[in-house]
Chains A and B, each alone.
Chain A
């Protein structure tokens, strides 16, 4: 991308401040849902709510996309979620799809890997896409929904200065370029990032582990022959004793992460005269590149004890943070939004009790812990904390060059996969003999159905996925209906492998977020009723 175009995306207000009617109201206007933060998580939640006709207002203290590439790696599950939100195709078309990786140790290339994406999925395992593009596509989607008359607003340069929790609603003081106003929300979703001002205003904890390390992150624009692969270096000559990562993004932008260690002068390390020679050493003397963005960060692995506090629900980085290895930050935030929205809609519609939202807390805390565990382990491998851990790390890398067995121990990041909510409060019956991967709590696995991809046919509502079993068109319990989605058992062998195993047929109760609620090998109306009640917090 030429520089001027690049500058434009960072400098043009995407949702410029506009005066809202609410600012002239005599008493504070009440909205069903207010979202704080127009980053990837807040926007995804807003789109999902608006699509389903839940009025939503997004407040952001800025008015532009985030500066620099930031989150760049989006996983298959998130692409499936984006498809459901109506903007997956643009992202996949723009993004860089990759499967190959190389691992280097010292001066040697020790092995290559292929993510070997499984057959029979609409979406690839990963795409790389700069966060600013990601946000731009989401804002475009918001604009398209507005054009369709959907009830969604983004208010730029609206900063919350005070929050009061009134049991059945939240009262907000909002500051704008034209002065303050008051606003009320039945529900507030705090997607205001790792430094969450909302969390601070509520005096809530955010505990965990701070890793004593600094990373220099640079985006460079480069015409280069490097292949579309993830390259990871342990202890390379150009960054002795540390690690480095090179990853391709769209528009000839390359993302480089250089570990710097703890005892450094951050301001000094960020200066181009310091950064450029480092990159030249890494990329080779002949590489021609321009530095687009440089940032230094220290990361932490931590989460809030609870993500729901009365009428305020935290999602994304405001609720949990992980190290960047594994692309588990933005990806898990999108899953938070996905998990929350259908529950919030049922509660707002009076179809489910408020305690359904406690399952958001249970399921996404479980997911956050899984992500924190994985990313902490990656960090401990990449940055050994003691002499002995370094000896073992180097032993693994030395062995990996010649020995296949050691390669699974090499941990340069375990890439984001969606969490299965094992033991989750909404899970219903399971039937023995059906494949473990689609057990209750698991996200649906995509598969061809003979009439398009399964993922394109699931979502937004409860469905009874009936494979070779007779079911009625709808099954209803307490005002919530599950709609039949009938698929032939021989429609595709991959579908049978993922949903039937050796069974001749199966019935799956799928949640609106495409997770499995319960499953059986035959249809029993009373059992489906019980599972529907379980999955909506009525059990």
Chain B
């Protein structure tokens, strides 16, 4: 069974983050929402592993809960 990588794993983290912002630069919310959705789908397909995807969804949800 594969496990979601939760330790730093992106080379040039700042560069990646800048690219992510650049992707949305000058776009309205509807365009950005559509791009984000497509990006999630592209990445999800690349990962493929259903177990890892479930863990990723769980991690995304848990991080938003500030109790």
Contact = CB atoms under 8 A, between A and B. Distances in A.
Interface in B16-42: 33-34, 37-38, 40-42
Contacts of B45: 405-406
User: Which size class do B's interface residues fall under?
Assistant: under 10
A391 interface: yes
A399 B41 contact: yes
Interface string A428-458: 0000000000000000000000000000000
A227 B10 CA distance: 50
A396 interface: yes
Nearest to B37: A395
B21 to A, nearest CB: 20
- Label chain A's interface by main secondary structure: helix
A229 B8 CA distance: 50
Contacts of A173: none
A396 B38 CA distance: 7
Interface string A386-401: 0000011011101100
Interface in A300-315: none
A474 B38 CA distance: 60
A398 B36 CA distance: 13
A406 B40 CA distance: 12
A396 B41 contact: yes
A410 to B, nearest CB: 11
Contacts of B40: 392, 395
A391 B33 contact: yes
A394 B34 contact: yes
B42 A398 contact: no
A391 B41 contact: no
A477 interface: no
Residue from A395, A396, A399, A409 having most chain B Cβ neighbours under 10 A:
A395
Contact of A409 (B33, B34, B41): B41
B33 to A, nearest CB: 5
Contacts of A392: 37, 40-41
A407 to B, nearest CB: 11
Interface in A370-426: 391-392, 394-396, 398-399, 403, 405-406, 409
A105 to B, nearest CB: 13
A15 B41 CA distance: 55
Contact of B34 (A398, A403, A405, A406): A398
A396 B34 CA distance: 10
Contacts of B33: 391
A394 B38 CA distance: 9
Nearest to A396: B41
B44 to A, nearest CB: 9
Contacts of B41: 392, 395-396, 399, 406, 409
A289 to B, nearest CB: 37
A405 B37 CA distance: 15
Nearest to B46: A405
Contacts of A395: 34, 37-38, 40-41
Nearest to B48: A405
Contacts of A409: 41
Contacts of A398: 34, 38
Interface in B40-61: 40-42, 45
A233 to B, nearest CB: 20
Contacts of A406: 41, 45
B30 to A, nearest CB: 8
A297 B37 CA distance: 32
A322 B40 CA distance: 30
A403 B33 CA distance: 19
Nearest to A393: B37
B11 to A, nearest CB: 24
A409 B40 CA distance: 13
A406 B42 CA distance: 8
A140 B41 CA distance: 51
Contacts of B42: 399, 403, 405
Nearest to A387: B33
A409 B33 CA distance: 19
A388 to B, nearest CB: 8
Nearest to B35: A395
A392 B34 CA distance: 7
Contacts of A396: 41
Contacts of B37: 391-392, 394-395
Contacts of A394: 34, 37
B43 to A, nearest CB: 11
A395 B30 CA distance: 12
A391 B40 CA distance: 12
14 contacts: A391-B34, A392-B40, A394-B37, A395-B34, A395-B38, A395-B40, A395-B41, A398-B34, A398-B38, A399-B42, A405-B42, A405-B45, A406-B45, A409-B41
Given A392-B40, A403-B42, A405-B45, 17 more contacts: A391-B33, A391-B34, A391-B37, A392-B37, A392-B41, A394-B37, A395-B34, A395-B38, A395-B40, A396-B41, A398-B34, A399-B38, A399-B41, A399-B42, A405-B42, A406-B45, A409-B41
Q: Closest 6 A-B residue pairs measured CB to CB?
A: A395-B37, A405-B45, A395-B38, A391-B37, A392-B37, A391-B33
Interface of B: 33-34, 37-38, 40-42, 45
